[in-house]
Amino acid sequence: MSSRSFSRDKPVGVIGVGSFGVAIANLLAEKNRVIVYARDPEVVAEINATHTARGRVLAPSIVGTNDPELICDRCDTLFPMIPSVGFREVMRIFAPFLHPYHFLIHGTKGLSLHLPEGQTMEDVTRINRDNISTMSELILDETVVVRVGCLAGPNLAKELMLKQPAATVIASRYKEVILEGQRLLRSDNFQVYGNSDIIGVELSGVLKNTIAIAAGALSGLGLGENAKGLLVSRGMVELIYLGKALGGSTKSFIGLAGIGDLVTTCNSTLSRNFTVGYRLAKGEQLTDIVADMEEVAEGINTVRLIKLFLESTDLRAPITENLYKVLFESFKVETALQYLMKYPFHVDVDFL
């Protein structure tokens, strides 16, 4: 069974029915039969009875299931769209039913911390690259799937649901994964580009979330476009340095998944990460913000992981370091901004 030939006539699977999972499922449903997986039987019943998932509208042709074996058997291509905090657990649930013929193209813009059994993030003061997994690395680690891809770009779920023009990048080391992702998703309103640097594209989507939180904070302080331009440009430099240290290519960071997504999320109130920064600047506590949000703002966990990673390197990432203090050490946003304004940058761009 593991050598079964790939079929284009089969339905496509989406794992997860958060806002982005629903948006991707609807895009796929324009040209394909789609099965979506949700763990909660009540959500599955809602999907099949009313064509909604927690109130989010799904195309009438989409079918829901909470059976991982069923969706893996019926679908050769699966799109995992779940938060990074639960990604490893879900892959372990799916692992017994996945085979080398499956294509997995994830859309999760987060990182996973991999520590020895029994240890947690609170137990360590520094980590290295071996302790950090992108979602593609996690899939390879937890399953027998070989052909892995990721989807990243300026893809705000609410705009996708409204069928507004947008584009994304499908990245994979395997050309057939890129071509299949393009075939399944490309439409008149949705362009799909390809990139072979999957790690760079994943890191682009992950690291821009940190800058998006900072952009929201600037907006919350009532600062203008000059300050935003400064943040985005210096944030891009920081993103590239960190991304290269984690194994990505500069070329990916200056593409759609990097600067394209960065500009979008640093200027949109639809961005969860932007919203976190905005509310922090307005004086709210992080615990209250997180408790009140319907979905995960991946940038919060990313800041914690990157701060630990920086402790084992000679890199400086002033935006990330100061944002860590704001998020976890009760540092005032105004104080962090003053520090950044005085940080001794002497060269504009020195990575090209």
Sorted by where each begins, the domain ranges of the chain are 12-196, 200-342
Q: What angle do CA 181, 186, 188 make, to 5 degrees?
A: 175
In this predicted structure, what is the pLDDT of residue 280? 95
Residues 152 and 289: their CA atoms lie apart, in Å, by 25
Q: Per the residue annotation, which of 208, 251, 282, 332 is the catalytic one? A: 208
Catalytic: 342? no
Low-confidence residues of the chain, pLDDT below 50? Answer: 1-3
What is the rounded distance in angstroms from the CA atom of residue 247 to the CA atom of residue 253?
12
Q: CATH number of the domain at 200-342, out of 3.30.830.10, 1.10.10.10, 2.60.40.2480, 1.10.1040.10?
A: 1.10.1040.10
Contact of 259 with 237, CB cutoff 8 Å: no
Tell me, which fold does domain 12-196 have in CATH? Rossmann fold (3.40.50)
Cα–Cα distances in Å, from 26 out to 14, 94, 162, 172? 10, 23, 10, 23
Give 341's contacts (C-beta < 8 A, 6+ positions apart). Answer: none
Tokens found for residue 253: 């960071």
- Per-residue pLDDT, 345: 63
In 188-297, alpha helices (H): 198-220, 225-245, 250-253, 261-265, 272-281, 286-292
- Give CA–CA dist 217/332, Å, rounded: 11
Q: The tokens 């829901």 sit on which residue?
A: 64
Q: Is the dihedral of CA 30, 31, 37, 41 positive or negative?
A: positive
Report how far residue 169's alpha carbon sits from residue 152's, in angstroms, rounded to the nearest whole number.
5
DSSP class of residue 248 equals -
Topology match between the domains 12-196 and 200-342 = no
Give me the pLDDT at residue 351, please.
55
pTM given for the model: 0.93
The 8-class DSSP code of residue 10 comes to S
Q: CA-CA distances (angstroms) from residue 299 to 67, 275, 325?
A: 30, 11, 14
- And the tokens for 217? 């904070």
What are the strands, taking DSSP E only, across the chain?
Answer: 12-15, 34-37, 52-53, 56-57, 63-65, 77-80, 103-106, 112-113, 132-133, 147-152, 166-172, 190-195
The whole-number pLDDT of residue 349 equals: 58
Asked if residue 174 lies in contact with residue 128, where contact means CB atoms within 8 angstroms, the answer is no
pLDDT of 123: 85
